[in-house]
Amino acid sequence: PPLSFSPRANPQPTSFSCTPRPPSHSSSCQIVIAMESALLGMGNPLLDISSVVDQALLDKYGLQMDNQILAEEKHAGLFKELASHADVEFIAGGATQNSIRVAQWMLQIPGATSYMGSVGKDEYADKMTEVCSKDGVKVCYQVAEGTPTGTCGVCIKDGERSLVANLAAADKFEVSHVKKAENWKLVEDAKIVYSAGFFMTSSPESMTLVSEQCAKSNTIYCLNLSAPFLMEVPPFKATLMATLPNVDFLFGNENEARTFAKSEGWTTEDVAEIAAKIACMPKTNGSRCRTVVFTQGMDSTVLVHNGQTKVYPVTPLAKEDLVDTNGAGDAFVGGFLSQLVCGKSLDDCVRAGHYAANVIIQQSGCKFPAKPSFNWIAQ
């Protein structure tokens, strides 16, 4: 089919024994107002090739639902097979790019967000640039000559998804691109920098450089665990643990939380307890405590901040309204960061995250209406 592109989802406090530090979101903190390039994302830009599949296709390629993996040789035919489906959609994606575009959509302030990643010199890259720019995101892609723009096979079944990423050009990101004067200025100007954990597969050097700079400059650095394999493959886990001391906000879902705990030799599978233990792990910038946020699908979101745990029920959604969970976690982060960059409370950040995720799961892929209906609360 011809290519078509779519734009791109009563709290109970519990005390823990870690030493509280000044919170990053207390009334004494300087409020960060959304301004030009206030939120920077760095990640792997991918073109999503999305289609509804049956169990036979999942079995053919050895795929599991609610999972994300990097493509292997055995997945070579998957992308063509998905593209041949009558209902296939081609959607500008990649986890970090999704979150940044959702944050930009929530903010509705042109240029408030910016994004770096590596693409090929092709139609897919041109379209992603066009879509992001139209949304108001400032894109600063590195162009990897001779390598196609990365793709992600999105296999949808019963409203859940299995993702298979072929990074291609996204895997060619070089730290020299970050060091260019105009790009390093984006790092210096940002109030918040965010990366999905997937970025550590393509440019761990860039992640190290930027996270260390954020710790030195007191810029908020946010990271997502993103996928279980990042904690199961030794080189990726090593990068994660080297970066974690610089992380101010850590995001993930319940599966990733439990995989992290297992990789650390912890016996607990309680998501709130895991979040609390991660929040207390060593941190470079001692002036700000680490906040850990774990989503759990339609179950409550867990947030640990400054030694306290809160549990937030998600917005209910009728089963018949659920279309596609692909991008829900990305949308949650985008909504959350849209409030964080404006100095809103963590309660408001979670509320915005739930709103954005609720919108995205009623769409096919990470897409959203022209303007959000989110109710901003003045502080």
C-alpha span between 301 and 356 (Å, rounded): 14
Dihedral sign, Cα of residue 326, residue 178, residue 172, residue 253: negative
- Whether 251 and 227 have beta carbons less than 8 Å apart is answered as no
- Give residues with Cβ within 8 angstroms of 235, minimum separation 6: none
Residue 217 confidence (pLDDT):
96
C-alpha span between 190 and 188 (Å, rounded): 6
- Whether 98 and 135 have beta carbons less than 8 Å apart is answered as no
Take residue 211 and report the two structure tokens written for it.
Answer: 């996270």
C-alpha span between 336 and 355 (Å, rounded): 9
Residue 367 confidence (pLDDT):
76
Identify any residues that bridge with 222 across adjacent strands, giving them in sequence order: 194, 249
Rg (CA), the chain: 19
CA-based nearest residue to 287, from 8, 18, 24, 78: 24
C-alpha span between 356 and 99 (Å, rounded): 10
- Whether 18 and 307 have beta carbons less than 8 Å apart is answered as yes
CA-based nearest residue to 204, from 253, 231, 233, 238: 238
* 126 carries an active-site annotation: no
CA-based nearest residue to 340, from 351, 329, 328, 326: 351
- Whether 150 and 46 have beta carbons less than 8 Å apart is answered as yes
Residue 35 confidence (pLDDT):
73
> Among 126, 330, 347, 348, which one carries the catalytic annotation?
330
Bridge-based pairing of strands 89-93 and 5-6 is parallel
Residue 18 confidence (pLDDT):
46
Per-residue pLDDT of the chain (379 residues; tens, 9 = 90+): 444 444 433 344 443 444 434 334 433 334 445 478 899 999 999 988 889 999 999 999 999 998 889 899 999 899 989 989 998 888 888 999 999 999 999 999 989 999 999 999 998 899 889 889 989 999 999 999 999 999 999 999 987 889 998 999 999 999 999 999 999 999 999 999 999 999 999 999 999 999 999 999 999 999 999 999 999 999 999 999 999 999 999 999 999 999 999 999 999 999 999 999 999 999 999 999 999 999 999 899 999 999 999 999 998 888 888 876 778 999 999 999 999 999 999 999 999 999 999 998 888 777 788 899 888 765 4
Residue 375 confidence (pLDDT):
83
C-alpha span between 270 and 248 (Å, rounded): 22
Which DSSP string do the residues of 20-77 spell out, in sequence order?
Answer: P---TTSTTSPPPPP-TT-EEEE---EEEEEEE--HHHHHHTT--SSEEEE--GGGTT
CATH superfamily of this structure's domain 10-45+94-148+169-360: Ribokinase (3.40.1190.20)
Q: Which 8-state DSSP code applies to residue 270?
A: -
